Structure 1
Amino acid sequence: MSSNQSPAPPVDLADEPRQFAMLLNSVIDYAIYMLDAEGYVRTWNPGGTRIKGYQADEVIGTHFSRFYTPDDVREGVPMRNLRTAETEGRFSADGWRVRRDGSRFLASVVIDPIWNEGRLIGFAKITRDITERHEAEQQLQATHVALFQAQKMEAIGLLTLGLAHDFNNLLTVVINSLDVIGGRTEDKKIARVLETAMRAADRGVLLTRQLLTFGRGQALMAETINLNDLILDNRDLLRRAAADQVDFHMDLAADLPQVAIDRGQFEAAILNLVSNSRDSLPDGGRISIRTFLRHTRLPQEPPQVERPYICTEVTDNGPGIPAEHQARVFEPFFTTKDVGRGSGLGLSQVFGFASQSGGFTELHSPPGGGTTVCICLPVCENP
């Protein structure tokens, strides 16, 4: 400091109005301001500027309802909050508010009435931006739900795996016995019966493999593959599976990294999804397959754990899946189809394949908005 400059005079902390003004002007995490009895802004602090984006000269003298959403204004929420503070002595609530730039934030609001000799002269209003806390709570809740769902599916998978192994052993005995009988008879009638029994046994073997895939008990033969090439190789099969009355489209992102997966299991998963979409469109509609690169995480992992995944979406414009059924669609034998129209193992095979490949599945089906099932598979780390 130059010798020609004199030090600033000390602040008189006994000057209560000035002390109070300094306190308010030092607070930046809270918008603290006064309203008159009709809700017009009379004071403004730097916290209000930081949270809501308005400078003091832009907001003083205007009605505080400008901070509320248009829907709340139409419903009379701002003045109702003031009347609640007046009659009950205080108003406190969380709600969505609007910044100067039009963006919304979640606010924790407290309004206290100010009385002078029994007459209401205004309100003291304190607002805090709690958007980040709200988003963190939402994320934590979503992680808990995903973890619970993963644990539930893991438990179902262990049960399914045990049953599938036992069932597979029984089918092996049945098929071997049918082979022995077939080799010892020349009766054509018996041969036809044996052929029918063998077809049923083969169908049982296929169902068992689907169960083993869900329970992660099916040995996968992983190879490094470009998913776009694999989908294009199966384009004609998928086109036929979609049926003639359905518009079938593909949107495959260019230059996708490779993944290490079982070729046959992926082909079966995509075919299952296309077949499910077709069944939801008896009168025709649209089915599309889309691939894209996405940085994300396993649903049950913390938000910080992200890595690249190749995602394959199968989308239809059918009626969608009822909300109450969506948490169960990947469970074995659960189906929304009519009796006899499905085994309930298609989506469970998709789920098991994705999980055993280190990825995951997602379902999006808003009411009346069609259904999208997405298979996300991790990119090869050492292609």
Structure 2
Amino acid sequence: MDAPASTRSALTDTSQQLRLLIDSVRDHALYLLDPEGIVCSWNPGAERIKGYAADEVIGTHFGRFYLPADRDAGEPQRLLRLAAQQGHCSAEGWRVRRDRASFRASIVIEPVLENGELLGYVKITRDITEQWQAQRLLRDAQRALRQTQQFETVGRLSRGLSHEFNNLLTTIGNALDLLALRVGSDPRAHELLSTAQTATDRGALLTRQLLAFSTGQTLIREPVDVNELIVESLPGLRRAHASGTLLGTELAHDLPPVCTDALQLQTALANLVANAVEATADGGHVLIATALEHRLDPDGEAGQQRRYVTVSVRDQGRGMPVDVAERATEPFFTTKDIGKGSGLGLSQVFGFTTQSGGFVDVSTTPGVGTTVSLLLPALEEPAP
């Protein structure tokens, strides 16, 4: 059946075509700006994405959609200048909806010219929050997988070395104990023996750390309430670090249990808190926080997510440069002075977390602080 004459007229009239085209676009905000950035038109897609009705926006500056920091820095004006100079401008960043919620936006700005004169701009905005979050989760999962593969290789070597060193140190320690009975009252000999025994004890400690890192240890895995474990550990952690640093907690409610070794989790927590307190030696706050997160499973099928209970230790210390942060979990890598660190602290934490089926996330900013998060798989309830 033929379309009515009014419909045919609307589809052949140029201005009507343009109006119908713009009004039919629902997944893109498409609107006109004058040369100063004042909104002159507003399509249904813009209302859906940004939450504003046309009469709330037309006549106002489009900078209202930007984060306050970007607005104060002149980002909206910079993008307009760039579009005018280059004939096109595309960018990506955070924007603000009417309800003040932020979203990730991909934007394009095109200048509107007539006889070389700038009449205004066409601006197109697309909400890419879901894609951005998916890419971020994928990057996290890929990084965790790479770390796991790297540590599996180094761990196999470390297991063999740790057993060999343990045998050697046992022999040396026994020999030093026998010598201590025969040196008599020579103070210099006692001093040398004491130094040698201290070095042997330190070597034994490093061997135990190396064995723990290599995941050669046997975990006694059982359901663990992470919040309960942190609350029970807190008094001891505070006594161990009686300094000007304040140790607090921010624990999420109704967390599911995790299946891991409670003693090893306590050891990992103590290790992270010790590092955080040392980084905040001049005073400040160290925060132990828990949360429930949905992340891509590094060992699962493509795109498969699962729930992780996150245990984070956050400090207000010096932070780390990017190149140092990337190596923070490498075995034997340390920024401490000789004799003050083995470089196995975070590696040991990583080994335990990986053996529990999880992974470690390190977030740091120089001059602001560092957050180290253990992501342990939540214990899922059996299907009814």
If the TM-score is normalised by the length of the shorter chain, which range does it land in?
0.7 to 0.9
Given that residues 80 and 109 in structure 2 are in contact (C-alpha distance below 8 angstroms), is that contact kept between their aligned partners in structure 1?
no
Q: Is the 8 A contact 1:363 1:373 kept in 2?
A: yes
Whether the 8 Å CA contact 1:298–1:359 is kept in 2: the answer is no
Secondary structure, in 3 states, of the residue corresponding to 1:271?
helix
What is the CA RMSD across the aligned residues, in angstroms? 4.1
**Structure 2 residue identity aligned to 1:268:** T
Which residue in the other structure is 2:337 paired with? Answer: 338
Q: CA 1:122/1:218 → structure 2, altered by over 3 Å: closer, same or farther?
A: same
Deviations 1:48-98 (CA, angstroms, capped at 9, x unpaired): 33333343444445555555555666666556655655555x222114454
Secondary structure of the corresponding residue to residue 268 of structure 1: helix
Q: Which residue, 7, 32, 37 being the options, matches 1:11?
A: 7
1:130 is displaced (CA, Å) by 4.2
SS of equivalent to 1:11: helix
Say whether the 8 Å CA contact 1:242–1:287 is kept in structure 2. no
1:265 alignment partner in structure 2: 264
Q: Deviations over 1:214-263 (max 9, x none)?
A: 11112233345555665566566434321355545566677765544335
Q: How many residues matched?
A: 370
Structure 2 CA distance for partners of 1:199 and 1:227, relative to 1, 3 Å? farther
| Alpha-carbon distance in structure 2 between the residues aligned to 1:79 and 1:258 | 50
Q: Distance in 1 between matches of 2:22 and 2:296?
A: 45
1:93 aligns with 2:90: yes
Deviation at 1:299, TM superposition (A): 7.1
Tell me, in whole angstroms, the C-alpha distance in 2 between the residues paired with 1:232 and 1:71: 38
Distance verdict in 2 for CA 1:349–1:91, change over 3 Å: same
Q: Superposed, which structure 2 residues align to 1:1-383 within 5 Å? A: 9=5, 11-12=7-8, 13-36=11-34, 39-67=37-65, 78=76, 85=83, 88=86, 90-96=87-93, 97-105=95-103, 106-115=105-114, 118=115, 120=117, 122-123=119-120, 125-132=122-129, 133-175=131-173, 188=184, 197=196, 200-227=199-226, 237-243=236-242, 246-249=245-248, 258-282=257-281, 286-287=285-286, 289-290=288-289, 292=290, 294-297=292-295, 300=298, 304-309=304-309, 311-380=310-379
Preserved contact between residue 110 and residue 127 of structure 1 (Cα < 8 Å): yes
Indicate the structure (1 or 2) with the bigger Cα radius of gyration: 1
Q: Deviations over 1:345-375 (max 9, x none)?
A: 2222222122212233333443344444343
Per the TM alignment, residue 129 of structure 1 is displaced from its structure 2 partner at its CA by 0.8
Of 321-330 and 97-106, deviating more is 97-106
How many Å apart are 1:102 and its aligned residue? 4.3
CA contact (8 A) 1:82 1:91 kept: no
CA displacement at 1:157 relative to structure 2: 2.9
C-alpha deviation, 1:211, in angstroms = 0.7
State the one-letter code of the partner of 2:306.
E
**Tell me, which stretches of 5 or more residues in structure 2 are unaligned?**
none
Q: Cα deviation per residue 1:180-204 (whole Å; 9 max; x = unaligned)? A: x569x75546996767655543432
CA distance in structure 1 between the aligned counterparts of 2:97 and 2:134, rounded to whole angstroms: 21
Output the CA distance in 1 between the equivalents of 2:32 and 2:247.
61
Distance 1:159 1:42, change over 3 A: same
Contact 1:160 / 1:215 at 8 angstroms: preserved in 2? yes
Matches of 1:25 and 1:294 in 2, distance apart?
41
TM normalised by structure 1 equals 0.75
Amino acid at match of 2:26: I
Cα–Cα, structure 1 residues 188 and 26, in superposed 2: closer, same or farther, change >3 Å?
Answer: same
**1:382 CA drift (Å):** 7.6
Task: Write the distance in 1 (CA, Å) between the matches of 2:381 and 2:347.
Answer: 29
Q: Which amino acid aligns with 2:374?
A: I
Cα distance between partner residues in 2 of 1:215 and 1:231: 25
Separation in 2 of the partners of 1:160 and 1:254? 39
Report the Cα offset of residue 127 of structure 1. Answer: 0.2
| Contact persistence 1:297–1:303 (CA under 8 A) | no
Equivalent position amino acid for 2:18 in 1: F
Aligned to 1:3: none
Alpha-carbon displacement from aligned partner over 1:137-158 (angstroms, at most 9, x marks no partner): 4443444344333433334333
SS at match of 1:164: helix
Q: Does the CA contact (< 8 Å) of 2:297 and 2:305 recur in 1? A: no
Q: Percent of counterpart pairs with the same letter?
A: 44
Shift in Å at residue 313 of structure 1?
4.0
* Aligned 8 A contact 1:93 1:109 in 2: yes
Find the residue that maps to 1:375 and give its secondary structure: strand
1:273 Cα deviation (Å)?
3.0
The answer to whether the 8 Å contact 2:155/2:214 transfers is: yes
Q: Which runs of 5+ in 1 are unaligned?
A: 1-6
Relative to structure 1, the CA distance from residue 54 to residue 163 in structure 2 (aligned partners, 3 Å threshold; closer, same or farther) is: same
